[in-house]
Chain A
Amino acid sequence: MRNIFLAIAGLALFAASCKKSDYALPTPSTKLQNQAIKRTLGPNIVGQVIEFAYAGAILKGKLTSFQADANIAGAAGTYMENQSYYTAQTGADVGVPVGDLSVTKATNTMVTFNVDTNAATLRYYYVIPEEARGKTVTITFTAKSADGESVSTVMGPYTVAKMDMKLNMKLTDNNAMYISIGDSTVYNATDAAAHAGSIDLVYLYRNLTTSAFGHALVSPAADPMYLPGVTLPTGVNRSTKELKAFNLQDHNLAPTEQYGGIFIDDIDLQTIDLSKSPNYAINLKADAGVWCQTADGKYNAYIFFNSVGTGTATVSMKRYKLK
């Protein structure tokens, strides 16, 4: 009897597993709908922009406004586009004006629509303020329609990096050659003497026939053989630990280049071990980089060589304050 019951149950299961349910087209919602994506990649750095695309649509009726509310007010330059973009066949983004220029008041940025449209995608550019350093940022997007309906989407929280960044510092051999990581500045000899206690590195270029010296970042306290022909200003004597890298092409430090998605983040600058590193780096080229730690252990930094000339170099730096 028990066996018969099991056999029937098995047959029923078999029959049920073969039954196909008819596919039905999903019914579009008549309510106001919205969606947002974050367009920027990599760490969120103070002074940089986080870009979002915010879309809203309603089946019947029209949109009246889009707004973004940040938990920390964006820095100057925060705005929402008043154009809705679509991608042309050429692949180019084409903007169609749909509203007035955005108005930003404290944490709120709003675009009021001035055309009759029931769907739009607007871009929102949040400039990360100093206040957000090391904190998290959350953006709440809200769309409103003419019938009084509203809908919201929360994006984040996004952690804002503690590090900071200085791009395109111009170095010139025998002139602007004294780098202060603490000040994020390059000094000439006169100014370096006035900031002697904060000079971490000396840039020099030597075209030697006997060895590959080339472009170099050398600590003032390094063996003088790595500072040929350099007379240091009085008091410039710090020893910075340095570790050479190559092809570590951080996308933030070289934004105009078509490099891959490599980003140096807080964690990299926190954990890089420079305890066994020397206090000089010579024979540096374009796309080379140098991890550094200041003599007082206050900063870890990564200095990237964007380009080099004869006796000149353009470098960019990410810097993390350790203590």
Chain B
Amino acid sequence: MKRNLSIAIAAVLLLSTWACSKNIPVDGDGLLITTRRECSVSSFELLGTDFVSVRVGAAVIDTVAQTVTCTVQFGTDLRNLYPQFSLAQDCTLNPKITGLTDFSDLAHPRQWTVISGDRQIKKTYTVTLTVQPR
């Protein structure tokens, strides 16, 4: 009797382990690694500390040259901006944007790397800001 019970418990445990071990690849952030190879920025937004856009017109995104060019309003506090990227499906961005970002060194534009859904293609975008004259 006891032997049968042990066998039954072992079988259930084995089955449950097998049921949980799905072969789905995820990256270090727990995001799904897919087969998509698109790797681009589709839109770009820049918010001030008041969460209001500081852009003057739309940002110009060149996916070939891998650049984002954006004019910001006169008086924008360049040290405290929230950049927002929209990426092709399943892409990730490196470094991650975790809060306010300093764009004040206009001579050295900030760069972000877009990584494709399959994590095999990496494209580094340069974000160049221009301040609108008064």
Interface pair B51/A246, CB less than 8 Å apart: yes
B134 surroundings in chain A (CB, below 8 A): 208, 210-211, 213, 225, 228
Q: Range of interface residues on chain B?
A: 10 to 19
B28 within 8 A of partner (CB): no
Is A211 in contact with B77, judged by CB distance below 8 angstroms?
A: no
Mark contacts of B26-54 with chain A using CB atoms, 8 A cut-off: 1 yes-contact digit, 0 otherwise: 00000000000000000000001111100
A124 interface residue (CB < 8 Å to B): no
Chain B interface mostly: loop
Task: Decide if B73 is an interface residue (CB 8 Å cutoff).
Answer: yes
Known: A210-B133, A211-B134, A246-B50. A280 touches B75 (CB 8 A): yes
When the two chains form their complex, are residues B79 and A211 in contact, meaning their CB atoms are under 8 A apart?
no
Q: In whole angstroms, how far apart are the Cα atoms of A311 and B75 in the complex?
A: 19
Chain A positions within 8 Å of B74 at CB level:
210-213, 282
Are the C-beta atoms of B73 and A211 separated by less than 8 Å? yes
The 4 closest A-B pairs by CB, nearest first: A211-B74, A246-B50, A282-B75, A244-B50
A residues at B contact (CB < 8 Å): 208, 210-213, 216, 225-226, 228, 243-246, 276-278, 280-283, 288
Provide the B5-44 mask, 1 if CB < 8 A to any CB of A, else 0: 0000000000000000000000000000000000000000
Q: Judge whether B86 is part of the interface by a CB distance below 8 angstroms.
A: no
Taking the complex as formed, is B80 at the interface, i.e. its CB lies under 8 A from any CB of chain A?
yes
CB distance from B56 to the nearest CB of A (A): 8
Cross-interface CB contact of A211 among B52, B100, B132, cutoff 8 Å: B132
Residues of chain A within 8 A (CB-CB) of B50 are: 244-246, 288
Residues of chain B within 8 A (CB-CB) of A283 are 73, 75
Contact of B80 with A213 in the complex, beta carbons under 8 Å: no
Closest chain B residue to A242, Cβ basis: B77
- How many residue pairs at the A-B interface have CB separations less than 8 Å? 46
Contacts of A211 on B, CB cut-off 8 Å?
A: 73-75, 132-134
Within the complex, the shortest CB–CB distance from B52 to chain A, in Å, comes to 5
Contacts A/B (CB < 8 Å), 21 sampled? A210-B74, A210-B133, A210-B134, A211-B74, A211-B75, A211-B133, A213-B75, A225-B134, A226-B75, A244-B50, A246-B50, A276-B79, A276-B80, A276-B100, A277-B49, A277-B77, A278-B79, A280-B75, A281-B75, A282-B74, A283-B75
Residue ranges of B at the interface with A (Cβ–Cβ < 8 Å): 48-52, 73-75, 77, 79-80, 100, 132-134
- Complexed CA–CA distance, A178 and B80 (Å): 26
Q: How far is the CB of A102 from the nearest CB of chain B, in Å?
A: 46
Task: Tell me which of A216, A244, A246 has the highest count of chain B C-beta atoms within 10 A of its own C-beta.
Answer: A244
Residues of chain B contacted by A216 (CB below 8 angstroms)? 75
Given A210-B134, A211-B134, A225-B134, answer yes or no on A278-B77 (Cβ-Cβ < 8 Å). yes
**Which residues of the other chain, A, contact B77 by a CB distance below 8 angstroms?**
244, 277-278
A277 contacts across to B, CB distance below 8 A:
49, 77, 80
CA distance A133 to B48 in the complex (A): 35
Across-interface contacts of A288 in B (CB, < 8 A):
50
Complex Cα spacing A226 to B74, Å: 9
Q: Besides A210-B134, A278-B79, 13 other CB < 8 A contacts?
A: A211-B73, A211-B134, A212-B73, A213-B75, A226-B75, A244-B77, A245-B50, A246-B50, A276-B79, A276-B100, A281-B75, A283-B73, A283-B75
B132 to chain A, nearest CB (A): 5
Structural contact, B49 and A243, CB atoms closer than 8 A: yes
